[in-house]
Amino acid sequence: MATLSTHPDCVPIVSYRFGKGATNIDKYIELDGYQAARKAIALGPDGIIAEMKASNLRGRGGAGFPTGLKWSFVPKQSDKPKYVLVNGDESEPGTCKDRLIFEQDPHAVIEGTIIAGLSIQAKMGFIYLRGEYRYLLEITERAVADAYAKGFLGKNIFGSGLDFDIVTQTGAGAYEVGEESALMESLEGKRGIPRIRPPFPAVVGLYGGPTIINNAETIATVPHVFRLGGAEYAKIGTERNGGTRLFCLSGHIERPGVYELPMGYNLRKMIYEVGGGIPGGKKLKAVVPGGASTPALTADEIDIGMDFDQLGKAGSMLGSGGVVVLDETTCMVEFALRTMKFYAHESCGWCIPCREGTDWLKKSLTRLHEGGAVDKDIDNIRYLAENMLGRTFCPLGDAAAMPTIAFVKKFRKEFEDHLDGKGCPHHHAQEPEIALV
């Protein structure tokens, strides 16, 4: 069972109902549940979007696109049915927040999906969960059935005269399916291969209809925006970065856990006060601030507010909220290699820069880690990664390239220490799994 961690600085918005038995629909209702959907019905599509825009809520999946704006791109008139698709395919390494949401408050996701549907006059929503989260699928299916029984889903929801259905869906193991267009392909019963854009999903999405696709945390936040009011919600965070988010602290940290903190919370405080610092009094070496795909920060770069804009300015990303802490004993080459092994495994193979790039980077990093590399290899690793950037159908290529470039740039000395046949100066060298090139 996944539980929320707390600290006095935590602000429970998304986690407002965690640990209170809110998987039970009556308990959820008792805790102001399904009031937001009623408010949204009264507001109508334009009112909903105005409230969302006022909240400054930005996409929690990684890109940080303003949610209200995204919804407003869906055309009012459409020959094809419109859809809402909730992305619960959480699989960015370092991220485990959606698990908590579905486990503790599945009705918030359902209510958020209804509101998203109301904003674009859709009649159907899908909640897609990664295949590994089977117990969460069961919890969510039960919650959906309970919502139907209460008349909150189906025909004439809340007696409004409007219809809205939700179907839950499971994946079957694929990081790439967390990418919005691959997600739609998977839901259409196909391999999760990305689609070329434009057209964007807001215009041509699922089954060819206009589609809103949002991360599960974003959708679970929506009812709270209406509970508090968009403007009030916006006040919690920093400028243009409304509200809170669930930060997942992991790695070399005294108190790992998922904490709900305001947007813009200082990273140093997050590590040393909220997370209790680094075990054994060791020094910090690096932080991956928002999941495996975000460029690492060095120990000198952690006096920063954790929001989309401040991290963007620092050359990284807020990403999915996965804060991975690395102490001084970590081998950065091994860490880079493990990251790349992941992307090489998960690349769908559709476009060449990603398919070949991730594989060659994995081979090059393996060779470097084992002591078989020559000087030139370090620049080659960076060159290869830089040439993947922006040259792929979907962001997986960038996700693999960006952290690699940062590792080489910021920790070059460590890469050099592996040269001249020395291999890894740290103790825990892995057994080789692939042949040397």
Partner 1 sequence: MSTQPTLFSPALAARFDKLVTLYPIRRSALVPMLLYAQDEVGYLSDPVIAEIAERVGATELEVRNVISYYSLLRTKPAGKYHVQVCTNISCMLRGGNEILDHCKKKLGIPNKGVTSDGLFSLEEVECIGACSWAPAAQVNYDFHENLTPESIDKVLAEYRTKSEKGAAK
Nearest to residue 323, comparing CAs of 299, 288, 296, 293?
A: 288
Residue 341 or 418 having the CB closest to partner 1:
341
Query: What are the residue ranges of helices labelled H in 284-331?
Result: 308-313
Applying CB under 8 A, which residues contact partner 1?
A: 2, 5, 81, 90-96, 98-99, 124, 130-135, 167, 169-175, 186-192, 207, 248-252, 256-258, 288, 292, 322, 324, 326, 330, 334-335, 338-339, 342, 345-346, 348, 428, 430
CB of 388 to partner 1, least distance (A): 20
Query: What are the residue ranges of helices labelled H in 5-161?
Result: 25-30, 35-55, 67-72, 97-104, 106-120, 134-149
Nearest to residue 242, comparing CAs of 260, 226, 263?
A: 263
CB of 69 to partner 1, least distance (A): 27
Report the 10 Å Cβ neighbour count for 416: 14
CB of 113 to partner 1, least distance (A): 15
Residue 348 or 396 having the CB closest to partner 1:
348
CB of 277 to partner 1, least distance (A): 15
CB of 295 to partner 1, least distance (A): 14
Residue 51 or 260 having the CB closest to partner 1:
260
Q: What is the CA radius of gyration of the chain?
A: 22
What does the DSSP 8-state code read for residue 296? Answer: P
Q: What's the rounded Cα separation, in Å, for the pair 130 and 416?
A: 39
Residue 15 or 72 having the CB closest to partner 1:
15
Residue 117 or 257 having the CB closest to partner 1:
257
C-alpha 114 chain-centroid distance: 21
Nearest to residue 98, comparing CAs of 221, 213, 183, 217?
A: 217
Residue 91 or 310 having the CB closest to partner 1:
91
Residue 130 or 227 having the CB closest to partner 1:
130
Residue 41 or 206 having the CB closest to partner 1:
206
Sheet order of strands, 244-251 included: 257-262, 244-251, 322-327, 284-288, 297-298
Residue 262 or 275 having the CB closest to partner 1:
275
Contact 366, 340 (CB under 8 A): no
CB of 310 to partner 1, least distance (A): 23
Please classify residue 232 by burial: count the beta carbons closer than 10 Å to its beta carbon, then call 0-12 exposed, 13-18 middle and 19+ buried. Answer: middle
Q: What's the rounded Cα separation, in Å, for the pair 388 and 397?
A: 6
CB of 83 to partner 1, least distance (A): 9
Q: What angle do CA 172, 22, 257 make, to 5 degrees?
A: 65
CB of 86 to partner 1, least distance (A): 15
* Residue 184, CA atoms < 13 Å, CB-side half-sphere: 21
One-letter identity of residue 10: C
CB of 319 to partner 1, least distance (A): 13
